């Protein structure tokens, strides 16, 4: 399991790098392919929609093969699609590359989190936040690579190529050691077959689906509007306006790096409640901020608060449906993309029609609504006590 944990951590890191390299260079992609401002939202919306399709397809595929098989082949496709987005010249090539990226990233996200949930069950203690910390670290690395490419005025292909050349072979070789909690005890399809799919009650899963959507609405608000908010509303310089998202990513990394210890000590319910209150307070500080530095304090609080919610939501789905966790995770993962689709247009529309200060109160209320569903995270089972552990399970670090 130690090797499986390390190889999966690497995959989370690689995905963080890959996704950051794409989203931080969207303006350059738009210019390269001549995508109009009216057509760009269609391209941006198509990626999460196709990712949702990829997640649904993965739910069906893992009935016959283990999630590690899906992840082993989906991750190279994602990285090659990124390279394709940087290598093309005409519009249809961009559409093809982003389409492949969307479908494969849905399969990748679903299978990665399936394996994380399964390994956490096998370990008998919280490790899920550590995987997502690796994703955050990858995001910081990818954003830094994108900044270097922009600073040195490198083409998209030249910017993307080093990351793909180095990380793709590493991730593929590392996939040899993928492991999950069921792999040592059952053949593919034995632990989660067709009967398991039917056992996932959407009514029981819905609270977690809402929490996932609320968290990603908050996340997309920060990623899409923090720079504009700081510059246009709080009057910061253009250079300073780029800082909040970097601060948000760093604090998310720090929060996830220590979050597993909090779950082990206090339980998932307490950690999720604390994160929700802190994130809501962060949005409130941003909404009433009188200057740029106060605004950055709010975004710092947001990073520390939101970072714990998504990993714990996946983990809660696994605990809720222990015999069908892959199915539950795949369905829950779709609401990741729902949050992305809703968040940015919602805040933009409210900002234009009302005010951007007022618009920040909407994700604040939605994140705070997580408190209503906190019991779905399971107070006792989150600590993996009461006979949850298998008799042969040992702490392997």
Burial of 319 per CB tally in 10 Å (0-12, 13-18, 19+) = buried
Are 321 and 226 in a shared domain?
Answer: yes
CATH number at residue 240: 1.20.1250.20
In contact, 306 and 215? CB cutoff 8 Å: yes
Are 133 and 236 in a shared domain?
Answer: no
Low-confidence ranges of the chain (pLDDT < 50): 184-191, 193-195, 197-198, 379-397
Terminal alpha carbon distance of the chain: 9
* Residue-level pLDDT at 390: 43
* Residue-level pLDDT at 191: 45
In terms of residue numbers, what domain contains 262? 201-383
CA count, 13 A, side-chain hemisphere, 134: 18
pLDDT digits (tens, 9 = 90+) for 309-351: 999 999 999 999 988 999 999 999 999 999 999 987 898 889 8
Q: How wide is the angle at C-alpha 88 spanned by C-alphas 86 and 93, nearest 5°?
A: 115
* Residue-level pLDDT at 170: 95
* Position 227 in a domain: yes
* Position 63 in a domain: yes
Interhelix angle 361-368/202-228, rounded to 10 degrees, is 150
Are 154 and 232 in a shared domain?
Answer: no
pLDDT digits (tens, 9 = 90+) for 365-383: 999 999 999 989 974 444 4
* Position 148 in a domain: yes
Are 53 and 120 in a shared domain?
Answer: yes
What gap in Å lies between CA 316 and CA 322, rounded to an integer? Answer: 10
* Residue-level pLDDT at 37: 81
* Residue-level pLDDT at 90: 94
* Residue-level pLDDT at 47: 93
* Residue-level pLDDT at 182: 60
* Position 45 in a domain: yes
* Residue-level pLDDT at 190: 41
* Position 112 in a domain: yes
What gap in Å lies between CA 252 and CA 269, rounded to an integer? Answer: 19
Are 260 and 169 in a shared domain?
Answer: no
């Amino acid at each position: 399991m130690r090797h499986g944990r390390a190889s999966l951590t690497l995959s989370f890191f690689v995905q963080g790098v890959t996704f950051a390299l794409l989203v931080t260079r969207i303006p350059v992609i738009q210019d390269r392919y001549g995508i109009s401002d009216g057509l760009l939202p269609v391209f941006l919306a198509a990626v999460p929609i196709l990712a949702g399709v990829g997640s649904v397809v993965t739910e069906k595929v893992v009935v016959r093969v283990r999630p590690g098989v899906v992840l082993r082949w989906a991750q190279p496709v994602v990285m090659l699609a990124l390279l394709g987005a940087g290598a093309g010249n005409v519009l249809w090539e961009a559409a093809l590359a982003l389409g492949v990226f969307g479908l494969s990233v849905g399969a990748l996200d679903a299978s990665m989190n399936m394996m994380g949930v399964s390994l956490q069950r096998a370990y008998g203690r919280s490790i899920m936040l550590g995987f997502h910390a690796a994703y955050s670290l990858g995001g910081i690395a990818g954003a830094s690579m994108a900044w270097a490419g922009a600073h040195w005025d490198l083409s998209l292909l030249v910017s993307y190529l080093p990351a793909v050349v180095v990380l793709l072979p590493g991730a593929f070789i590392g996939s040899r050691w993928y492991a999950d909690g069921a792999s040592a005890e059952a053949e593919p399809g034995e632990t989660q077959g067709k009967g398991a799919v039917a056992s996932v009650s959407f009514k029981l899963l819905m609270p977690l689906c809402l929490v996932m959507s609320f968290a990603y609405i908050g996340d997309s608000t920060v990623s899409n509007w923090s720079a504009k908010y700081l510059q246009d509303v709080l009057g910061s310089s253009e250079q300073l306006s780029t800082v909040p998202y970097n601060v948000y990513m760093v604090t998310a990394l720090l929060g996830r790096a220590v979050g597993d210890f909090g779950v082990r000590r206090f339980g998932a319910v307490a950690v999720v409640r604390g994160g929700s209150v802190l994130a809501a307070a962060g949005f409130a500080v941003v909404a009433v901020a009188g200057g740029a530095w106060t605004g950055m304090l709010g975004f710092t609080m947001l990073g520390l608060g939101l970072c714990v919610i998504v990993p714990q939501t996946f983990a809660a789905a696994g605990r809720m449906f222990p015999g069908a966790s892959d199915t539950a995770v795949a369905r829950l993962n779709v609401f990741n993309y729902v949050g992305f689709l809703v968040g940015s247009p919602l805040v933009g529309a409210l900002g234009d029609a009302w005010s951007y200060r007022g618009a920040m109160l909407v994700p604040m209320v939605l994140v705070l609504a997580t408190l209503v569903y906190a019991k779905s995270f399971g107070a006792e089972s989150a600590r993996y006590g009461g006979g949850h552990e298998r008799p042969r399970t040992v702490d392997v670090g």
